[in-house]
């Protein structure tokens, strides 16, 4: 059974102390309801993707039911930073199995309610907490720095290469009214910012973010019943899981779970895994740290192993290049409200494919397909989803 996104919404990302959890959720939900032209009684089931416990509220689906008058069945999902994509996958399966016809997916996080050390500790639990965090003090900048230094050593990448990822993503973030950081930066600024965990500096790291994103999914029958023309279809999704302990990984040059998830998604979609960029208009990848974006180029097959760094050097992931990547600012500039990130990527796919992105960051749609790559932890969870204008 084909499943479509019939509506999407997005809150402003950032430090949202101006609203409570329910109000923040409603910002994106209302947009999605209005875009789909449906109301609460049309929703058969809803899923809240919310990863952390840094917010004061825990029973968020019930809070949403009360605030938004949405009393359908519900559940909360957590898969670390891949929570949003996992939630979309669960909604897709609910419709495909015949259990529901219309499912609302809400990705939500209000991280700023907790002090930074608490946020850092909770994120640390997305790795092997007792072995790596408790014994060795690894925080997530340090986790990803292990991968970044291995990549630098193997492929002669430089700190400047990582800085260029930040420059690109801030450039596009400046054109996104929902982004946390809406200001361009120079390479000099990126390289002169303070170190967080070598080789990462401040501008290499995604921020702590509040935000919500929402998509409404519907079966093909409901799409026809509602008389909708401007829909985006979920073509395929691949998901794979990595080891909890980094010492069990084969190497630090790839997130193998992401590579395998992409192979699964390509196979389902009938896309050539050797040159998938020939079938895609663009991609949103999980750039929680700048080196992670370059590694994603290779894990997804946009470049051969060790050649991802050449894509950023040659500006091949800008609009007009081989494949535009993170032209919404990515996690780096748009922000990374953990549970909302994967849903935010889906909203971007929806907007891009329908030609509704803001001026200066709308891609020329030729193939009618967009990819999202969402990682939980350091490849502990991996989801690759392909969206399209035509159903599979």
pLDDT digit string, tens, across residues 323-372:
999 999 999 999 999 999 999 999 999 999 999 999 999 999 999 999 99
Of 154-158, 162-166, 226-230, which gets the smallest average pLDDT?
A: 226-230
pTM of the model: 0.97
Per-residue pLDDT, 124 = 79
Q: Is 336 an annotated catalytic residue? A: yes
Cβ–Cβ under 8 Å, residues 90 and 49? no
CATH number of 3-115+208-226: 3.40.47.10
The answer to whether residue 137 scores a pLDDT higher than 80 is: no
Q: Which residue has the higher pLDDT, 58 or 339?
A: 339
Query: Which one has a higher pLDDT value, 391 or 1?
Result: 391
- Give whole-number Cα distances, 129 to 48, 188, 254, 263, 381, in Å: 25, 36, 21, 29, 15
Q: Strand pairing of 232-241 and 195-197?
A: unpaired
The band of 391, judged by pLDDT with boundaries at 50, 70 and 90, is confident
Out of 170, 286, 336, 373, the active site residue is: 336
Q: How large a percentage of the chain has pLDDT more than 70? A: 100
Task: Work out the number of other CB atoms within 10 angstroms of the CB of residue 59.
Answer: 11
Catalytically annotated residue among 10, 81, 279, 380 = 81
What would you measure as the largest C-alpha separation in the chain, in angstroms?
57
Picking from 48, 5, 68, the residue whose alpha carbon sits closest to that of residue 235 is 5
Here the tokens at position 289 are 């740290």
How far is Cα 329 from Cα 336, in angstroms, rounded to an integer? 11
Query: Between the CA of residue 27 and those of 10, 32, 78, 170, what are the distances in Å?
Result: 7, 9, 21, 24
> 71: burial class by Cβ within 10 Å (0-12, 13-18, 19+)?
middle
Distances, alpha carbon 126 to alpha carbons 26, 209, 286, 347, in Å? 28, 17, 15, 25
pLDDT band, very low/low/confident/very high, at 125 (cuts 50, 70, 90)? confident
Confidence band, pLDDT 50/70/90 cuts, at residue 28: very high
Query: Please, which pLDDT band fits residue 55 given cuts at 50, 70 and 90?
Result: confident
The structure tokens listed for 243 are 């080891």
Assign 211 to helix, strand or coil: strand
Annotated active-site residue 81? The verdict is yes
Sorted by where each begins, the domain ranges of the chain are: 3-115+208-226
pLDDT score, position 138 = 81
Task: Supply the pLDDT for residue 194.
Answer: 98
């Amino acid at each position: 059974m084909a499943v479509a996104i019939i509506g999407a919404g997005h809150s402003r990302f950032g430090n949202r102390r101006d609203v409570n959890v329910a109000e923040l959720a409603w910002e994106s939900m209302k947009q999605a309801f209005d875009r789909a032209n449906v109301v609460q009684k049309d929703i058969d089931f809803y899923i809240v993707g919310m990863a952390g416990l840094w917010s004061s509220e825990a029973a968020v689906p019930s809070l949403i039911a009360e605030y938004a008058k949405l009393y359908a069945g519900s559940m909360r999902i957590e898969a670390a930073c891949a929570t949003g994509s996992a939630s979309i996958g669960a909604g897709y399966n609910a419709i495909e199995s015949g259990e529901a016809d219309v499912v609302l997916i809400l990705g939500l996080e209000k991280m700023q309610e907790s002090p930074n050390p608490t946020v850092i500790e909770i994120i640390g639990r997305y790795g092997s907490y007792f072995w790596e965090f408790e014994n060795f003090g690894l925080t997530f900048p340090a986790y990803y720095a292990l991968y970044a230094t291995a990549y630098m050593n193997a492929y002669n990448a430089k700190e400047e290469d990582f800085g260029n990822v930040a420059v690109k993503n801030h450039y596009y973030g400046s054109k996104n009214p929902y982004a946390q950081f809406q200001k361009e930066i120079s390479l000099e600024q990126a390289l002169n910012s303070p170190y967080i965990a070598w080789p990462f500096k401040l501008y290499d790291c995604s921020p702590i973010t509040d935000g919500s994103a929402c998509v409404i999914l519907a079966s093909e029958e409901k799409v026809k019943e509602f008389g909708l023309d401007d829909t985006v279809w979920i073509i395929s999704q691949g998901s794979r899981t990595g080891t909890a302990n980094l010492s069990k990984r084969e190497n630090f040059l790839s997130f193998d779970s992401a590579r395998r998830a992409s192979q699964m998604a390509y196979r389902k979609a009938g896309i050539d895994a050797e040159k998938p960029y020939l079938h895609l208009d663009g991609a949103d990848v999980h750039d929680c740290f700048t080196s992670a974006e370059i590694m994603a180029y290779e894990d997804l097959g946009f470049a051969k192993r060790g050649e991802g760094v050449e894509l950023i050097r040659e500006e091949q992931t800008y609009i007009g290049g081989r494949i535009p990547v993170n032209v919404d600012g990515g996690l780096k500039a748009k922000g990374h409200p953990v549970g909302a990130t994967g849903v935010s990527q889906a909203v971007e796919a929806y907007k891009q494919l329908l030609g509704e992105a803001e001026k200066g960051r709308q891609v020329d749609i030729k193939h009618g397909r967009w990819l999202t790559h969402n990682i939980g932890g350091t490849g502990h969870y991996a989801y690759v989803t392909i969206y399209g204008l035509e159903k599979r």
